[in-house]
Structure 1
Amino acid sequence: MADIGATVAADSDAARRNAEVVQRFFDVVLTPPHDLDRIDDLIADDFVDRTPDDGDTTRAGVMAKLAALFTQDPAASFALEALVAAGDGVAAFSVLRTGGAATRFADLYVLRDGRIAEHRHVVEPLSGALR
C-alpha cells in the first residue's frame, strides 16, 4: 500500500487486503491523472451503488459520473484520510477538492473477490476554514 498519509485500521489480513483495494481505487482513479480505464480491475461487474446521485446504480453509472467530474475539473482530487476495514467492509473517509470547494465524504464499500461490489456514501460540504 502506498503511503499517502491515511490512517489504516483492519481487523484481519483479509480486511487489510480489502482496504488495499479501496486505497488503489483512490490512488489510481480518484486522484489525478484519473485512470478510469482501471475501474474494471477494481469494481465488480455486478457492482451496485446504494446512494446514486442520479438513479444509475451500475458500474457504468459510476464511471460516467466520474468521467464528467474529471472532465469538468481535471485537478479534482479525493484526499484519503482514513480507512477502517472489517471483514468484507471498508469505510473510507476523504475530502474532495474541486474548483475551490471542498466536500467531506464517508464512503462504505463492500468487497467481493478482490473488487468493490457495493458502495454507499454520506456527503458534507465544507465551508471556510475547514477547507
Structure 2
Amino acid sequence: MGSFHDAASGEEHAFVTGPNGVGMRDIGIGLPFGVNDIGQVVGYFYDAVAGEYHAFVTGPDGTGMTDLNMLARPPDGTILANAYDINNSGQIAVTGTIPEPATYAMMLAGLGIVSFMGRRTRLNRFRAVSRSGC
C-alpha cells in the first residue's frame, strides 16, 4: 500500500502491491492510511466538487474505492473526512468535521431576528389599518 503523484493530472493516487511487493495496482485518487489482512484499504481523497476531504474504503485486495459518507450516512453537516485504520473485522477508525455549536447558535439567532421583524411588520400593518378605520 502506498501513494504516488501523477504529474500529468497533479493528483495523488493510492496503490496496492501484490504478494512480496510484486506488481502495483492503482486503486484511485487519494491517500491510503491503513490496510487489513484481506487487503481492504482506507484513507482519504479530495472531492473537488464539494471542496472537502472524504474518507474512503476499498473492497478486498484494494478493489472498488467507496466514499464512507455514502456508506455510513452521517448526520446532516457531518463529513467523514479521513479513515486512519481498519481492523480484520472491518471496523474503521475515522475522523470527521462536525458543525460548531456557534454555527447553530448563529442560525437560531438569525431565525429569531427574522421572526421578530416579521411580527413587528404585521403589528405595524394592523395598527395602520386600525387607525384608518377600515
TM-score greater than 0.5 by the shorter chain: no
Scaled by the length of structure 1, the TM-score of the pair is 0.31
Scaled by the length of structure 2, the TM-score of the pair is 0.30
State the structure with bigger RCO (CA 8 A, min sep 6), 1 or 2.
1
Structure number with greater Rg is 2
